[in-house]
Amino acid sequence: MMPARSDRLVHNPYAAFLGVEAGESAGEFAVRWDESLQGRKGFLHGGVIAGLFDMAFHDLMAAIADGAAVHPVDVGVDFLRNGLMETTYIRAHVVRQGRRIVNLQAMAWQSDPARPIATARAHFALIRKA
C-alpha cells in the first residue's frame, strides 16, 4: 500500500527551485525541463538527477517516519542514459522498512517508463527518542 502523499514538498524551497510537481503518492513527482537543470549542453545535469532521487527518498521517508527523526545514511545512483530536454518522472518505493533502517529504491524516466535514464538506492535511519 502506498502511503498518502505528504504536503512536505509544497513547503520545500529546494523542490520549488527545481520545479518539482508532486504526484499522487509520496516519492512520486515530475519535473519539467528548464535551462536551470542543464549540465552538458542539451542534457540534464547528473547532480540534478541525483538531487531529484534524494528528494523523492526524503518525501517518502517523511510519509512513513511516524514521528521518528529521519537521517540519510547513503545513496547510490546509476546513470543509464542521457537525460534529455524533456519532462523527467521520478518514482521511489520502500524495499524494506525495518524499525531502525529503511531501504529504498527509485527510478527516473522521461518519455518511456520502460527506458529509465537512472536508478537509485538509499538507506535511511529512523531515530526514535527513547
Partner 1 sequence: MERDDEFFMDMRALGGHSRVMDVIQTHAERGLVEMRMDWQPHFAADAEGTVASTGPILSIIDSASGSCVYTQSTSWPLVTLDMRVDYARPQRPGTTLFAVARCDGVNHRRARVTCDVHDGDPADPVARSVLAFFILEAE
Smallest distance, partner 1 to C-beta of residue 130, A: 21
What 3-state DSSP class applies to 21? strand
Smallest distance, partner 1 to C-beta of residue 73, A: 6
Asked whether 128 and 77 are in contact (CB, 8 A), the reply is: no
Q: Which is nearer to partner 1, 93 or 123 (CB)?
A: 123
Where do contacts with partner 1 occur on this chain (CB under 8 A)? 11-14, 16-18, 35-41, 45-48, 50-52, 54-55, 58, 71-79, 82
What 3-state DSSP class applies to 96? strand
Can you tell me the distance from the alpha carbon of 82 to that of 45, in angstroms, rounded to the nearest whole number?
A: 9
Q: Which is nearer to partner 1, 2 or 62 (CB)?
A: 62
Can you tell me the distance from the alpha carbon of 70 to that of 101, in angstroms, rounded to the nearest whole number?
A: 10
Smallest distance, partner 1 to C-beta of residue 7, A: 11
Type of residue numbered 49: I
Q: Which is nearer to partner 1, 64 or 77 (CB)?
A: 77
